[in-house]
């Protein structure tokens, strides 16, 4: 069975990308504004994007790609969604920022709470890092404890306490843990293997000074795509309760992707605090932390836990978020989920038919795969997958016009703009890429 997609290199040239990157490297560390964009996890030169529309992006040399990164998750309606652009157009006419309360913040907050009632109260910030950093500070204040527990390979942004055996770009770059984080602070971050309730329980029980919070990606997207074992999240809930710790679901990536109501809807487990980002901004900088009212009321100015932000609740970002969540009905969510499953089943079949050890999975509109013959249950398993084959496959896919996450330790996404035609075309191109990668 051979791919019907022309096997000639899809990209006739990437000259302009190379030119722009040469200038960028003179200006920015690694030539990028965020490390994972530098292709260090896959080698070669990053492509420089010129524009996006729906499920596609075009680089500065005019090469077209079906995009499964979608700005690392936010673009659930696709690139340059007319719904989002119209909302931004109207909001812009009234001004771009006020540093004052606006009704748009209330509208987005109400939409979020309608879908996730366990966010009884919340606070908008401008990045996922701000959301998780603030949630941890709040948990430490609420419990009067300093230690926090995270999981190997999970990534919660770049605040000091999280740069301990983290995933995403930290894992991609093989950084042990980032320099610059004081040892005394890093010592307050306990790390356990994902899906290992016994080790987690031991760590919590052995920490005599108590743990302020257990923070987890309910489905991991930053070690690659890894789902929790049955009962794991329920076990964390019970452990947190018995230890007097708060349970924090970092849903910056999973929120509004793994189910319309996030992890609570998918797994039936309620966290004390939840962080969201990406989708709720529709591509503009928005994140939020929220949860139990008795905890959130400790946040300034109603309480003493300080946290602030000049552009928090920015009206343009709020407008994009309101437009995105309003469009993201359960019916649309189900349609995207169905196509995500079709794509992942097709990719698994390609691996099986070519006898390539591959395990692919999805949840809602989030998906991923490892070149591994056994299920990947934690970061150690993920690191043991065939990363070299991943690199060859990534570039073979890129050459055929499919843009996957440029690291084996990331997840991929789908949007409302990825129709049956995009899924079919992507699978045809990925077949050719797999044949080339294993040749």
Residues 249, 264: Cα–Cα separation, whole Å = 9
Residue of 164, 210, 167, 171 lying closest to 187 (CA atoms): 164
Segment contacting ligand KE4 by CB under 6 A, of 1-9, 85-93, 216-224, 266-274? 216-224
Q: Are 349 and 318 in contact (CB under 8 A)?
A: no
The catalytic position among 59, 152, 250, 272 is 250
Segment holding 15, helix H or strand E: helix 15-27
- Residue 161 binds ligand KE4, judged by CB under 6 A: no
Which among 8-16, 99-107, 153-161, 300-308 is the span making contact with ligand KE4, rule CB under 6 A? Answer: 153-161
Please state the closest distance from residue 152 (CB atom) to ligand KE4, in A: 14
Q: Which of 46, 109, 153, 277 binds ligand KE4 (CB under 6 A)?
A: 277
**Active site (annotated) includes residue 349:** no
Q: Which stretch binds ligand KE4 (CB under 6 A): 245-253, 311-319, 347-355, 386-394?
A: 245-253
Choosing from 5, 65, 68, 155, the residue that interacts with ligand KE4 (CB under 6 A) is 155
Binding segment toward ligand KE4, per CB under 6 A, in 10-18, 249-257, 412-420, 423-431: 249-257
Residue of 390, 361, 428 lying closest to 5 (CA atoms): 428
Kindly tell me which residue out of 102, 143, 161, 168 binds ligand KE4, with binding defined by CB under 6 A: 168
Are 358 and 347 in contact by the 8 Å Cβ rule? The answer is: yes
All residues at 6 or more sequence positions from 206 whose CB lies less than 8 Å from its CB, including other chains: none
Q: Which of 157, 260, 281, 364 binds ligand KE4 (CB under 6 A)?
A: 157
- CA–CA separation, 237 and 253 (whole Å): 20
Give residues with Cβ within 8 angstroms of 29, minimum separation 6.
Answer: none
The verdict on whether 388 is a catalytic residue reads no
Instruction: Report angle CA 288, 317, 301 to the nearest 5 degrees.
Output: 45
Is residue 128 close enough to count as binding ligand KE4 by CB under 6 A? yes
Selecting among 278, 289, 399, 403, the annotated active-site residue is 278
Q: For residues 29-58, which are near ligand KE4 according to CB under 6 A?
A: 34, 36
Structural contact between residues 88 and 316, judged by C-beta atoms closer than 8 angstroms: yes
- Of 81, 143, 222, 378, the one binding ligand KE4 (CB under 6 A) is 222
**CB closer to ligand KE4 out of 145 and 150:** 150
- Whole-angstrom Cα distance, residue 410 to residue 278? 15
Residues serving a catalytic function are 155, 250, 278
């Amino acid at each position: 069975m051979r791919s019907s997609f022309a096997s000639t290199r899809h990209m006739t040239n990437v000259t302009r990308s190379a030119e722009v990157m040469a200038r960028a490297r003179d200006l920015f560390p690694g030539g990028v504004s965020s490390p994972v964009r530098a292709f260090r996890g896959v080698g070669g030169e990053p492509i420089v994007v010129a524009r996006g529309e729906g499920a596609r992006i075009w680089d500065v040399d005019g090469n077209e790609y079906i995009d499964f990164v979608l700005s690392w998750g936010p673009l659930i309606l696709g690139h340059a969604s007319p719904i989002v652009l119209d909302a931004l157009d109207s909001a812009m006419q009234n001004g771009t920022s006020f540093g004052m309360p606006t009704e748009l913040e209330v509208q987005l907050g109400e939409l979020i709470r309608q879908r996730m009632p366990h966010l009884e109260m919340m606070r908008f910030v401008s990045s996922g890092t701000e959301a998780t950093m603030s949630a941890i500070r709040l948990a430490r204040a609420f419990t009067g404890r300093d230690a926090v527990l995270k999981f190997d390979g999970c990534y919660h942004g770049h605040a000091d306490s999280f740069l301990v055996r983290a995933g995403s770009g930290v894992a991609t770059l093989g950084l042990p843990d980032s320099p610059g984080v004081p040892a005394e602070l890093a010592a307050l971050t306990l790390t356990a293997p994902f899906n290992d309730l016994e080790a987690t329980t031991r760590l919590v029980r052995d920490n005599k000074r108590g743990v302020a919070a257990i923070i987890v990606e309910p489905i991991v997207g930053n070690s690659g795509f890894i789902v929790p074992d049955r009962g794991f999240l329920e076990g964390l809930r019970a452990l947190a309760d018995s230890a007097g710790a708060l349970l924090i679901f970092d849903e910056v990536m999973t929120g509004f992707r793994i189910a319309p109501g996030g992890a609570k809807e998918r797994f039936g487990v309620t966290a004390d605090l939840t962080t969201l980002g990406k989708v709720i901004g529709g591509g503009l900088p928005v994140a939020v932390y929220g949860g139990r009212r008795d905890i959130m009321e400790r946040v300034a100015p109603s309480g003493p836990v300080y946290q602030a932000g000049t552009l928090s609740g920015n009206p343009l970002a709020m407008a994009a978020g309101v437009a995105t969540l309003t469009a993201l009905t359960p019916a649309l969510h189900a349609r995207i989920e169905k196509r995500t499953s079709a794509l992942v089943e097709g990719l698994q079949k390609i691996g099986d038919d070519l006898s390539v050890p591959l395990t692919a999975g999805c949840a809602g509109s989030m998906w991923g795969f490892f070149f591994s013959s056994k299920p990947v249950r934690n970061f150690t398993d993920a690191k043991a997958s065939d990363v070299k084959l991943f690199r060859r496959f990534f570039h073979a896919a890129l050459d055929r016009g499919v843009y996957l996450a440029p690291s084996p330790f990331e997840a991929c996404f789908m949007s409302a703009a990825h129709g049956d035609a995009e899924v079919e075309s992507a699978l045809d191109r990925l077949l050719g890429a797999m044949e080339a990668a294993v040749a």
